[in-house]
Amino acid sequence: MLERMQGHARRWRALRPLLLALAMLSLAAGLGVLLTSNNQAGDAYLIPTIVLFLWCLMLHAFLSLFAHVPPPAVMTLPWRPRMMARCKRGFYTLFLWTFAALTALLLITSWQLAGAWRMMY
Domain boundaries, the chain: 2-120
Tell me what pLDDT residue 51 has.
97
Tell me what pLDDT residue 52 has.
98
Is the pLDDT reported for residue 120 higher than 90?
Answer: no
Please give the C-alpha separations between residue 15 and each of 52, 64, 88, 120, in angstroms, as whole numbers.
15, 10, 26, 33
> 73, 104, 96: which is closest to 86 by C-alpha?
73
Segment 72-100, tens digit of pLDDT: 988 888 999 999 999 999 999 999 999 99
Is the pLDDT reported for residue 39 higher than 90?
Answer: no
Tell me what pLDDT residue 116 has.
93
pTM over 0.85: yes
